[in-house]
A and B are shown apart, each in its own frame.
Chain A
Amino acid sequence: MTRISGALRSPLTFSVLAGLVIGALFLLGTGADPIAAYEAVVTGALGADGIGSTLTTGTSVLGLALALAIPLRAGLINLGGDGQMVLGGITAAVTGLYSPLPAPLTVVLALLAGMAAGAGYAVLAALCENRLGVPLLVSSLLLSYPAVSLASYLARYPLKEPGSSLPQTRALPDGVALPAFGDSTVTLGLVLVAIAAAAYWFTDRRTAVGYEIRMTGLNPRFSAYAGVERRGLTLRLMALSGGLAGLVGAIGVLSFPYRFVDGSLTAPGYTWTGLTAALLAAAAPLGTVVAAFFFAVLQVGGLAMERTTEVPRELTQVLQAIVIVFLAARLRFPGRWFAFTRRTRESGAV
């Protein structure tokens, strides 16, 4: 009983329920039936037609959620996911287009190059904090904009597909692509991201480094006292974070439509969805996976909801943000509610 009421009383439960209730009020406000709309979200995202799309979106969302959760575990917020991801994507595209190696090796090289580009760029943000005293939050975000502009410029001018009206690079050569499962758009990228999640879980739970990271997040002054070197940790965590973001960009380019399309990585808002997932889970490894899947379902299901109920899919974005607002404000169900129910039940038993 205490366990159940404890779970119900956690700010997490309250936030998610509050988000769903406020979402339902919005739906009522637009004249839609909330139950039908939520049903459309679930069937749209998890039904036979939607599950492939959910897993494809989930690959990117989970990848970025992990990328942002890793520094967040130590109390560092990386807001530059967009820039790191896009640089990873454009680097992978260039590698894929110009590498002289055979196709399978080119794929590996493109993935590695994408990760290196993202990692290098994130390290730059970490150096801004370590050496120049610009807070990471600000340096990572400000660096993100020029990176997105640069990739956009490359895709629109020097690398643009000749004759195409779209801002995109040429398609990668035949065979330079991540293997897909069956006819779906789900690729090996999902497996790569899942491996990253497993590695994060293992490091967090079972290694000394993971313990140091968690401790730094919980109490930076204590961990400094215990001998954790903060600058080095910031640098390493940001390198990992940017590397993962770059990997997501590279996976995006090496999957359908097998090229870098300007805006296709940033427009779906993977970075922000990933950040909300990481915040929702307080950067815990398994929680991040669950939260990322939950938000991927919302994002894909939102489209289905729009088709069946004509409610704009932006509602799911509102819902996500509301969950985090409530969580950050640490709202929870008042304790007396549960004390009251317990008392009445006990007195009823007597």
Chain B
Amino acid sequence: MFLDSDLLMSALRALTPILLAALGGALCERAGVFNIGLEGMMLMGCFTSVATSWFTGSPWLGVLAAALAAAAYSLVLAVGAVTLRGDAVVLGIAMNLLAVGLTSFLLRTVFGVQGTFDDPSLAGLPLIGGFTPLAYLSWAAVAVAALLLSRHVWGLRLRGVGEAPDAAATLGVSPAKYQYGAILLSGVLCGLAGAQLALGNVTLFTENMTAGRGWIAVVAVMLGRAAPLGVLLAALLFGLAEAAGFRLQGLGLPQQATDAAPYVVTLGALFLTTARRRRRPRTTGAVQ
């Protein structure tokens, strides 16, 4: 049978990195920052987690270091777009390029290899019930983000900052502070997403290994209208597409067809949802 529990399991595994990154993107979107640097932040997380796990022998330290490194990297966007009022779109594109260059450069200077670093003694994350602890964390993060945005004062103020920054400022809520918070949180989440990708889904580092997942996360934010549960559903769709792709590959379809599947599915889903609703007014910094 094609649709079975195996497929669901592998869909859920493929889902985790996208979900973590997309939650970060959703927080930024709610705060009025269009964050398309998710891909780059994730890639920094991938490299840092592998390098730290390799040199310390502990994947946990790898996860921690990935979160910290990606958060530090996200400061580029925070300082550039919030403090200096630069163009968030251009900054995001440049950050993605910088991450590819930087991690490839470091791969060669630190590990002395080109392309891929892969070693049997590189410690990956343990599996609990078939999933890494980060997968469970990502599901919990959906609930926390949903509660935060709908119930907690921090989340409500964050949304206020995104929807009406001037009004928020009049009420004594500093937009910059909340936008910094959202961007740094997205950095942490992308770092975790990177660690999941490099120490969970596989245990290695390859140049540009995120391969567009950060962009899929950006689309998941749009699809899910920046709501945590919506983002979860959108990311699940991508996970299913990737898992079904692997399955079809087993049935003899060429790898290229399955590589393309997630992008085609995401685009199709975007068509269906955007065609039905009128475009809502967008937050500052979003592309029109």
Task: Tell me the A residues contacting B by CB distance below 8 Å.
Answer: 26, 30, 77, 79, 128, 132-139, 141-143, 145-146, 149-150, 152-153, 156-157, 220, 272, 275-276, 279, 312, 314-315, 317-322, 324-325, 327-331
Contact = CB atoms under 8 A, between A and B. Distances in A.
Interface string B185-220: 000000000000000000000000000100100110
B97 A142 contact: no
B259 A145 contact: yes
Contact of B263 (A146, A314, A320): A146
Interface in B237-288: 254, 256-257, 259-260, 263-264, 266-267, 270-271, 274-275, 279, 287-288
Contact of B105 (A149, A279, A312, A324): A312
A327 B76 CA distance: 12
B101 A318 contact: yes
A325 B98 contact: yes
B286 to A, nearest CB: 8
SS of B interface (majority): helix
Given A272-B97, A319-B101, A331-B84, 10 more contacts: A133-B279, A135-B222, A138-B219, A220-B288, A312-B105, A320-B101, A321-B94, A321-B102, A325-B80, A329-B80
Contacts, number: 131
A240 B142 CA distance: 43
B93 interface: yes
Contacts of B109: 30, 312
Contacts of B287: 77, 135-138
Contact of B94 (A139, A146, A324): A324
Given A137-B89, A138-B222, A142-B263, A150 B101 contact: no
B215 A141 contact: yes
A128 B263 CA distance: 14
Contact of B98 (A153, A220, A321): A321
A132 B271 contact: yes
Given A133-B279, A275-B93, A317-B100, A330 B263 contact: no
A275 B80 CA distance: 19
Interface residues of B, number: 46
B86 A330 contact: yes
B229 interface: no
A276 B97 contact: yes
Contacts of A137: 36, 89, 287
A320 B267 contact: no
A328 B257 contact: no
B144 interface: no
Given A142-B266, A314-B104, A325 B215 contact: no
A62 B253 CA distance: 37
Contact of B80 (A145, A156, A328): A328
Given A135-B288, A325-B80, A325-B94, A314 B260 contact: no
A171 B185 CA distance: 52
Contacts of A150: 256, 260
B137 interface: no
B143 interface: no
Nearest to B108: A312
Contacts of B267: 128, 134, 139, 142-143
Given A275-B93, A320-B97, A157 B263 contact: no
B140 interface: no
A321 B101 contact: yes
29 contacts: A30-B109, A132-B270, A132-B274, A134-B271, A136-B287, A142-B215, A142-B263, A142-B266, A145-B263, A146-B260, A149-B256, A149-B257, A150-B260, A153-B254, A157-B254, A312-B108, A314-B101, A318-B105, A319-B101, A321-B95, A321-B100, A322-B98, A324-B93, A324-B94, A325-B76, A325-B80, A328-B80, A328-B90, A329-B91
A329 B84 contact: yes
B120 to A, nearest CB: 25
A317 B104 contact: yes
Closest 7 A-B residue pairs measured CB to CB?
Answer: A317-B101, A321-B98, A329-B80, A153-B256, A324-B94, A146-B260, A149-B260
B79 interface: yes
A328 B218 contact: no
A212 to B, nearest CB: 18
Nearest to B264: A146
B177 interface: no
A159 to B, nearest CB: 13
B277 to A, nearest CB: 8
A318 B90 contact: no
B104 to A, nearest CB: 4
Contacts of A77: 89, 93, 287
Name, among B79, B89, B94, the residue most crowded by chain A CB atoms within 10 Å (CB to CB): B94
Interface in B113-134: 114
A292 B221 CA distance: 34
B283 to A, nearest CB: 13
B121 to A, nearest CB: 24
A284 B32 CA distance: 30
Given A314-B105, A314-B108, A317-B100, A132 B275 contact: yes
Contact of B256 (A26, A132, A152, A312): A152
A320 B267 CA distance: 30
Contacts of A141: 212, 215
A331 B76 CA distance: 12
